[in-house]
Amino acid sequence: MMDLVVRTPRAPKKGETVIGTSFQRFPGGNGANQAVAAARLGAKVTMAGKVGQDVFGDQMVATLREEGVCTEHVLRDASSPTGIGSITLDDEGNNRIVVVPGANLNYNLDDLSTLRPLLASQDLLMLQLEMNIDTIKMAVEMASRHEVPIVLNPAPAQKISDDLLKAITYLTPNETEAELLTGVPVTDVESAKRAARVLLDRGPKSVIITLGEKGALFAHGDSFIHVPGCSVKPVDTVAAGDAFNGALAARVAGGSSLKDAVRYANAVGALTVTRQGAIPSLPTAKEVEEFRRATEIA
């Protein structure tokens, strides 16, 4: 996805026009952000998906390659443009996003079937919901057949069947997504625990609910553990969740415990919101370690 970002003192109300302060264009999209986040943290990453045969597609593929992400399985589509995200950011760093998936939705089951030999050898599969749900289901089936752990970031938020959730190793909704999936409004740690219990009962092995500045709650079996967030002044929250997910995937695939992975991912997400843009804001492993040391000292 190509992110088209407008900054404005405040978001417009219904029927209102406001004067913005800047416009910028950044390569982004949940999957691409997560892929780059994991790669910058030292993981070996292969990206699968589809972009248009247009300038945005050219830039997207070039950016992934520059970040060390394998793009052999990023396909080009002549019938649809590269997807875009229209993003409004206010002075507090809060965002409102409209996603137009474009070529993403043309990535089909035939495209996916070519990944069978590759998927069997992977340490972990990360998925989002910016593709057709039937494609997501087939990817989950393929990974499950080879006992490859699956991280599902349920964004953009939508209903998910219990059959699909039962195959997920790590489900990573934010507050809004958790509420949509459970009907439980998530406003604090205690309500996050209630939502996590509902989700666990539906089948995923572990649930990690991201809570913004409050950190994250992870749940497995009868254990519910809150990992506090890091205190920072947010500049741009666009890629915070993707940074968290990419870091979580990289650490889990590298053998870290879930608790340690969540702690690390919290720091990565916090550092990300102190910078503008999606992919440009994602930190390297060295930057994260320096940030964690400084945070501990403070």
Tell me the catalytic residues: 242
d(CA 291, CA 35): 21
Q: What spatial distance separates the first Cα and last Cα of the chain, rounded to whole Å?
A: 37
Closest to 207 measured CA to CA, from 152, 260, 144:
152
Q: Which one-letter DSSP state was computed for residue 70?
A: E
Name the DSSP class of 120: T
Q: How far apart are CA 17 and CA 80, in angstroms?
A: 30
Query: Could you identify the residue written with the tokens 């209903």?
Result: 159
In angstroms, what CA-CA distances link 220 with 100, 167, 171, 178, 199?
34, 15, 11, 16, 10
Query: Identity (one letter) of the amino acid at 78?
Result: A
For residue 175, give the 3-state DSSP assignment.
helix
**Residue 105, Cβ density class (10 Å: 0-12 exposed, 13-18 middle, ≥19 buried):** middle
Contact 49, 64 (CB under 8 A): no
Report the distance separating Cα 87 and Cα 163, nearest Å. 33
